[in-house]
Copies of this chain bind each other. A is one copy, B any other.
Amino acid sequence: MDRILLGHGSGGSLMHDLIRQFLAPAFDLKDTGDSAILNLNPHRIAFTTDSYVVSPLFFPGGNIGELAVYGTINDLSVSGALPLFLTAGLIIEEGFPMDDLKRIISSMAEAARKAGVKIVAGDTKVVNRGKGDGIFINTAGVGLLYEGIDISARNISKGDLVIISGEIGNHGMAIMAERNGMSFDPPLKSDTAPLNDLVRSMFEATREIHFMRDPTRGGLATTLKEAAIESGLCIRIREEAIPVPPQVMGACELLGLDPLYIANEGILVAIVGRKDAEKVLMRMREHPLGRRSSIIGEVDDSPEGMVLLETSIGGKRMIEMLQGEQLPRIC
């Protein structure tokens, strides 16, 4: 392949190949988790970055500004860190309406305030008309690792349970519906939300959270497949247990998409030691962002690196990473 395809940005296998074969070796990146973990004696800090290129910029339930703030907060949170500081880098297209810029920046400020995180530095660049797409936003974030926490696929072991904190598919399908001029009743709305407080409450319940990730690009399927490959174990999930709202299901059927691959922005998936799973689940359900939490599966030792879905009618399906470009520019 000698040119970049849209699918290289969609969070699936093309992107993984690009990162694993090229970016990670060039930069000597050790881990493919959501944040780098760094020692700054006596602290361990998490440091991460994400650029946001979502289209459209404003969508039901949010806009690119709050998405950019919550997205990086969530990357830090699921790495086991308390998010502290964000930077914001704006790349704006010449001619972009000042009012839209103000709305977006206000949303970022409000989102940071809500989550109790500070935006501490910013940068603004402008590109010529026709050389951008309204606005792109990068956020980078620094967080402080919780004591005694080690979130890594390496810590997953047989018997662990898989918990999801809410319904899947809302963010991605809200964007797709907006792009396609479709409407649903009840309406599809992005689930974009900051997960730092939910994560804090989970750590209060137990330190036995082995793996945690927010299943954004590539959806729940890709996230679990990554966990299976990195741990060398097998993740078995039950279709019936996975909460999919009816309007997401409806939109997916109309567009020929699979909710397991749809991006989410306000939920997390955790793989938790079996004996503490019920306790964590209870705590999650007490949290406004975790009311629909449920156990959707468990970890087995074989077949290695596989995710197996037990379907509602009792069949088994092998789950792979997202291929190609199902949903470009979803975040």
Contact = CB atoms under 8 A, between A and B. Distances in A.
A213 B138 CA distance: 23
Contacts of A10: 126
Nearest to A121: B36
Contacts of A92: 4, 8-9
Contact of A51 (B90, B105, B109, B118): B90
Interface stretch (A15-23, A230-238, A279-287): A15-23
A39 B87 CA distance: 16
- Give this chain's copy count: 2
Given A40-B144, A93-B4, A105-B26, A88 B49 contact: yes
10 contacts: A8-B124, A8-B126, A27-B120, A38-B120, A40-B144, A49-B123, A51-B123, A89-B140, A127-B136, A136-B136
Nearest 4 Cβ contacts at the A-B interface: A9-B126, A140-B140, A36-B120, A49-B87
Nearest to A106: B26
Interface stretch (A94-102, A201-209, A248-256, A259-267): A94-102
A222 to B, nearest CB: 15
Contacts of A102: 22
B15 A124 contact: yes
Contacts of A120: 27, 29, 36, 38, 47
A47 B142 contact: yes
Nearest to A96: B4
Nearest to A7: B126
Nearest to A1: B98
A49 B125 contact: no
A235 B119 CA distance: 32
A51 B91 contact: yes
A119 B93 CA distance: 28
Listed residue (A47, A93, A97) with the most chain B CB atoms within 10 angstroms of its CB: A47
Interface in A71-127: 84-85, 87-99, 101-102, 105-106, 108-109, 112, 118-127
A47 to B, nearest CB: 6
A122 B19 contact: yes
Interface in A197-223: none
B85 A6 contact: no
A182 to B, nearest CB: 21
A276 interface: no
Nearest to A18: B124
A57 interface: no
A32 to B, nearest CB: 10
A293 interface: no
A94 B4 contact: yes
Contacts of A108: 26-27
